[in-house]
Chain A
């Protein structure tokens, strides 16, 4: 199975783990889940759409990352998965 990981569990960062999957799945663990889980999910979904990626399993372990970091870490994880 192809897998890609990027980011860290440091404050203001996010660790993205992306795996090949038959069905799309997004799991978000965040220290600000109650306030920002929808925004995080939207960023992940829009980034996957932009990259035309459909069947992946995304685990997002967020430590308060801003949108740019979520997007960047997801893209790196996907690129690493494809290496």
Chain B
């Protein structure tokens, strides 16, 4: 369960060793776009030894590798796959790429005697991937999909705007594919790190549409993202009242009951339980 995932450049020791102070629910150590071609080897070595030096904690560690069609992707996996990481983020993903990644991870985990099964977050950032979203979401180990609007709008040859009307369709594709497969829909980062009101508006839109979390490209975005992707106090209070009323109804042998004049049945109760689970996870209950 996530609200915020913060990108950290893989070749930056100062950022890596402070990764756990930024209060994001996950960090994405980036070996792809944040690292120049000439520094791929250096970043890979740095991240490998950074991971060895860290103690396990609650922070989800995600590694964005280079594409498996590049000469770096497999080397990245060999360097980082260990019990110290939780998830691999796969750029420009298609269902076939995810299947290939699952095979490689299974082999490395077995070879290394790992306890953990590494998850996968494919990035939906090509028009062909958007059309294949549901198939990608269904693949083994996939725990969420990240919409990558920058590469996607480049692929489409259109301008990326702050209002995001151009990414409405891919946002819905990701949201519905994730909801149908009970995984997390992760929204594209807001790239203007100095525009606080723009970030708030973008978070509000994404959360209202049904995104569960959002990627951040700067530590100063984490607080706002966490706020918009956490259940509000009003929603938490309502959920508590629903569960309380449900207990009373159960005691009276009622399956359906009303609260504030509105009928409460199974889907509403499930919604309240999800809200409370998320609130408990993020210690805001």
Contact = CB atoms under 8 A, between A and B. Distances in A.
Contact of B41 (A12, A66, A79): A79
Contacts of B14: 10-13
A24 B23 CA distance: 45
B46 A80 contact: no
Given A12-B17, A69-B13, A6 B42 contact: yes
Given A72-B48, A72-B49, A80 B13 contact: no
Interface in B55-99: none
Nearest to A65: B13
Contact of A80 (B41, B48, B49, B53): B41
B33 interface: no
A67 interface: yes
A30 interface: no
B96 to A, nearest CB: 32
Interface string A60-82: 00000111110111011001100
B42 A73 contact: yes
Interface string A18-43: 00000000000000000000000000
Interface string B8-38: 0000111001000000000000000000000
A72 B46 contact: yes
B115 to A, nearest CB: 23
Contact of B45 (A10, A11, A13, A76): A76
Given A11-B14, A12-B17, A13-B13, A68 B49 contact: yes
Interface string B245-266: 0000000000000000000000
A6 B41 CA distance: 10
Interface in B78-134: none
A58 B127 CA distance: 49
Contact of B13 (A66, A75, A79): A66
Contacts of B45: 6, 72-73, 75-76, 79
B227 interface: no
B42 A66 contact: no
B50 interface: yes
B42 A7 contact: yes
Given A6-B42, A7-B42, A72 B17 contact: no
A19 to B, nearest CB: 18
Contacts of B12: 10, 13
B271 interface: no
B53 A76 contact: no
Contacts of A79: 41, 45
Nearest to B17: A66
B41 A73 contact: no
A22 to B, nearest CB: 27
A68 B41 contact: no
Given A11-B14, A12-B13, A68 B42 contact: no
A72 B41 contact: no
Given A12-B17, A66-B17, A69-B13, A76 B49 contact: no
B53 A66 contact: yes
B162 interface: no
A10 B49 CA distance: 18
A80 to B, nearest CB: 7
Contacts of B48: 72
Contacts of A68: 46, 49-50, 52-53
5 contacts: A13-B12, A73-B42, A76-B41, A76-B42, A76-B46
